[in-house]
Structure 1
Amino acid sequence: MTIQKSAEDYLEAMLMMKEQHGYIRSIDIADHLGVTKPSVSYATKRLRENGFITMDHSGFITLTDSGMEIADRIYSRHKMLTDFFTAIGVSPEIARTDACKVEHDISEETFKAMSRYNEILKEAQKKESSEA
């Protein structure tokens, strides 16, 4: 199934909100993504129609299993890419921004190769710091 990048961004933001606050609200998503509340309303309506989220009578959002699967995949990519970019000397802020740009478009093959290399970098850094 193909899902648009913007939908992936919304699902990822929802997962981040869940981890940070323990709940997901539209206003927090709008603040996090820097979009308007009507934009979030439109996006959540589409995500609900496609079975990625549910919303209770109080407006709290819950990721469905399929929504969580997509959100987790994108967020995991984001975290690994941010780690990788910082490991090679990119500032944390730029690394996060660039990870956001790359996470949707990178091929699975390249992502796996970068993940393997990131593990090598981590091990080398661990070894280096234990020898210091």
Structure 2
Amino acid sequence: MKLHASGEDYLEAILVLHKKMGMVRSVDVAEKIYECHCFFTEQLIAAGVDPETAEVDACRIEHVISNESFERLKEVAPLLIQSSNYLHNFIQE
């Protein structure tokens, strides 16, 4: 069966949520996709990307990133922000 990447991502999100929660509703999948979209929009804006461009790029990213990569990035994002702030402050001194 041939699926588009977005279809594969949708099915993967259903499976991941099913494994975590035992039962899945379509709203659970939608919330997971929206969480991904918001995360990448915020990260791109924080990196200095124009908000409109960040919104478009986040939409693209959410359709190609695996759940594993997304979850890992969520875990390390605070550390990356801390490191970035430290480096920025160090350069300013």
**Aligned residue pair count:** 71
Task: Report Cα offsets for 1:69-92 as digits up to 9, x if no partner.
Answer: 111010000001111112222121
Residue 77 in 1 paired to residue 53 in 2? Answer: no
TM-superposed CA distance for 1:103, in Å, is 0.5
TM-superposed CA distance for 1:117, in Å, is 2.9
Change (3 A) 1:115 1:94: same
Aligned runs of 1:13-52 on 2, under 5 Å?
A: none
Find the aligned partners of 1:104 and 1:70 in 2 and give their Cα distance: 13
TM-score, normalised to structure 2, is 0.56
TM-score, normalised to structure 1, is 0.42
More strand by share: 1
Of the candidates 50, 56, 62, which is equivalent to residue 97 of structure 1? 56
Contiguous gaps of at least 5 residues in structure 2: 10-23, 89-93
Root-mean-square deviation over aligned CA pairs = 3.3
Query: Is the 1:87–1:121 Cα contact (8 Å) retained in structure 2?
Result: no
Change (3 A) 1:86 1:117: farther
Find the aligned partners of 2:84 and 2:64 in 1 and give their Cα distance: 28
Q: Residue in 2 aligned with 1:5?
A: 6
Find the aligned partners of 1:91 and 1:117 in 2 and give their Cα distance: 23
**Bigger radius of gyration:** 1
More helix by share: 2
Structure 1 residue runs of 4 or more that deviate by more than 6 Å after TM superposition:
125-128
Residue 109 in 1 paired to residue 68 in 2? Answer: yes
Aligned residue type for 1:108: N
Change (3 A) 1:3 1:68: farther
Task: Report Cα offsets for 1:55-104 as digits up to 9, x if no partner.
Answer: xxxxxxxxxx6121111010000001111112222121111110101102
Structure 2 counterpart SS, 1:89: coil
Query: Is the 2:45–2:51 Cα contact (8 Å) retained in structure 1?
Result: yes
Find the aligned partners of 1:107 and 1:117 in 2 and give their Cα distance: 16
Change (3 A) 1:92 1:117: farther
Identical-pair percentage: 30
Higher relative contact order (CA 8 A, sep 6+): 2
